């Protein structure tokens, strides 16, 4: 199915053309019409299926159908981590290039200047707020924020947020928003907690299940049973021939990450470490180098997830 068949506005289609998007993925095909109908939606789709565009495109279309109040927020998107919030914002920048839509990321990890910038976006009425739950709650507790104009509330990776203990924060945010809003939830899995959350914050949602989370069939999974002192030999064997791709090596602790990265550097691999001892600016620098192929191997704790 092509994006032209959804009946999106001309300016949204121009953004799609600029981003070279032509064919809709299955999750986009099933969810975009529902969101355009302004119905509540709970969609189960694994990462990599195009779910971010599945809600960005209809949201942009809905927001441009009528003009909003210039000093009120019109949509709130909540994501589990600042990295995901930033990725969502980058996609908005691309798709909304030809539209008068403003976005603000509200997340932790910055300084006082970033807090003030987030506060201005919240109080002066950016069209779309993309936030992590904890930081948004902090602003709600301190600042006088008018959410009465919010038309759409979107939860991305809802199951992960619940795993991280954000259930109560999501409920608090939901109570600050108008009752007659549209609520959209995307999740990779459908545990009982997700259904409980949907029951509490949604109104007769349409349910879509596309590519329920499962191991990627293109990935060959294997395990090596070994002693601790044999691990480096196995790593050497795995990398003895150039892979032609980037590799992430997970380890269980910061100390082990540092030790492994040091050992691999001594063997002349292009490698860096990622762990919670790094400042946010250092993490972003490492990730940028990894993205730009300056690093072949990234050794990390689960902080990278």
| CATH number of the domain enclosing 79 | 3.40.50.300
Q: What is the mean pLDDT of the chain?
A: 89
Which residue bears the tokens 């910038």? Answer: 117
pTM for the model stands at: 0.76
Are residues 282 and 255 part of one domain? yes
Residue 241 lies in a domain: yes
Which residue bears the tokens 């038309």? Answer: 151
Position 246 confidence tier, pLDDT thresholds 50, 70, 90? confident
Model pLDDT for residues 12-53, shown as the tens digit of each residue: 999 999 888 889 999 999 999 999 999 999 999 877 788 999
Structure tokens at 7: 């009946």
pLDDT of residue 255 exceeding 70: yes
User: Which DSSP helix (H) or strand (E) runs through 134?
Assistant: helix 133-142
Are residues 185 and 42 part of one domain? yes
Stretch 282-299: mean pLDDT, rounded?
Answer: 88
Whole-number pLDDT of residue 212: 55
DSSP state of 6: G
Domain boundary among 149, 178, 210: 210
Domain boundary among 164, 180, 210: 210
Residue 216 lies in a domain: no
Residue 161 lies in a domain: yes
Rounded Cα distance, 187 and 27, in Å? 12
Query: What is the radius of gyration, based on Cα positions, of the chain?
Result: 21
- Residues 62, 84: contact at Cβ < 8 Å? no
Q: Is 198 helix (H, G, I), strand (E, B) or coil?
A: helix
**Range(s) of the domain holding residue 270:** 228-304
Ordered strands of the 297-300 beta sheet: 247-250, 297-300, 271-274
Rounded Cα distance, 21 and 4, in Å? 11
- Residues 257, 274: contact at Cβ < 8 Å? yes
Whole-number pLDDT of residue 190: 85
Are residues 239 and 184 part of one domain? no
Whole-number pLDDT of residue 301: 86
Model pLDDT for residues 72-125, shown as the tens digit of each residue: 899 999 999 988 999 999 999 999 999 999 999 999 876 778 888 898 888 887
107 class by beta-carbon count within 10 Å (0-12 exposed, 13-18 middle, 19+ buried)? buried
Model pLDDT for residues 169-218, shown as the tens digit of each residue: 999 999 999 999 999 999 988 888 898 999 999 999 999 988 555 566 67
Rounded Cα distance, 247 and 52, in Å? 25
Are residues 206 and 274 part of one domain? no
Residue 218 lies in a domain: no
Please give the tally of structural domains in the chain.
2
User: Which DSSP helix (H) or strand (E) runs through 13?
Assistant: helix 10-18
The percent helix, strand, coil of the chain (3-state, each to 5) is 45, 15, 40
Are residues 190 and 266 part of one domain? no
Are residues 293 and 191 part of one domain? no
Rounded Cα distance, 91 and 263, in Å? 37
pLDDT of residue 271 exceeding 60: yes
């Amino acid at each position: 199915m092509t994006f032209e068949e959804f009946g999106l506005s001309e300016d949204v289609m121009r953004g799609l053309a600029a981003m070279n998007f032509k064919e809709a993925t299955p999750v986009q095909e099933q969810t975009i019409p529902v969101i355009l109908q302004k119905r509540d939606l709970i969609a189960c789709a694994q990462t990599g299926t195009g779910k971010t565009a599945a809600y960005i495109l209809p949201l942009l279309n809905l927001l441009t159908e009528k003009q909003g109040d210039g000093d009120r927020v019109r949509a709130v998107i909540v994501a589990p981590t600042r990295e995901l919030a930033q990725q969502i914002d980058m996609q908005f920048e691309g798709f909304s290039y030809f539209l008068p839509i403003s976005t603000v990321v509200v997340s932790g990890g910055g300084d006082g200047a970033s807090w003030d910038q987030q506060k201005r976006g919240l109080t002066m009425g950016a069209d779309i707020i993309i936030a992590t739950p904890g930081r948004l709650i902090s602003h709600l507790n301190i600042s006088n924020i008018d959410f009465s104009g919010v038309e759409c509330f979107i939860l991305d990776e809802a199951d992960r947020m619940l795993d991280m203990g954000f259930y109560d924060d999501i409920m608090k945010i939901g109570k600050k928003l108008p009752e007659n809003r549209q609520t959209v939830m995307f999740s990779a899995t459908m545990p009982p907690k997700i259904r409980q959350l949907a029951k509490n914050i949604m109104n007769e949602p349409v349910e879509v299940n596309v590519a329920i989370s499962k191991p990627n069939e293109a990935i060959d999974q294997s395990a090596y049973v070994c002693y601790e002192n044999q691990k480096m030999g196995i790593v050497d064997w795995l990398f003895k021939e150039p892979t032609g791709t980037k590799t992430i090596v997970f380890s269980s602790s910061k100390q082990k990450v540092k030790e492994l990265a040091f050992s691999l550097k001594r063997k002349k691999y292009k490698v860096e470490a990622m762990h919670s001892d790094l400042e946010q600016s250092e993490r972003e620098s490492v990730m940028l180098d990894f993205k730009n192929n300056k690093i072949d191997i990234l050794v990390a704790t689960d902080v990278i997830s």
